[in-house]
Amino acid sequence: RIRSAHSVHIPGLLQTSDHALAIFRFAVPALPEPEVALRLAHRLERQQVLEGDSAPEYVAVLHEAALRMQFGGRQVARAQLEHLLRISERDNVVVRVLPFEAGGFPGAGQTVNYLEGPVPQLDTVQSDNTHGPDFLYTEVQLSKYRAQLDWTERLSLAPDESRDFIHDLARQL
Average pLDDT over residues 87-102: 97
pLDDT tens digits for range 39-84: 999 999 999 999 999 999 999 999 999 999 999 999 999 999 999 9
Question: Rounded distance, CA 129 to CA 156, Å?
Answer: 23
Look at residue 146 and tell me whether its pLDDT is greater than 90: yes
The percent of residues in the chain predicted with pLDDT above 70, rounded, is 100
The string of DSSP letters for 5-24 reads EESSS--GGG--HHHHHHHH
User: 110 falls in which pLDDT band (50, 70, 90)?
Assistant: confident
By three-state DSSP, how is residue 56 classified?
coil
* Residue 99 pLDDT class (50, 70, 90 cuts): very high
Give the bridge partners for 58, in sequence order: 2, 93
CA distances from 116 to 7, 80, 122 (A): 21, 27, 8
Q: DSSP strand E in 52-155: where? A: 58-63, 93-98, 111-115, 124-129, 132-136
pTM, rounded to two decimals: 0.94
pLDDT at 38: 97
Which backbone phi and psi does 16 adopt, to 5 degrees?
Answer: -75, 165
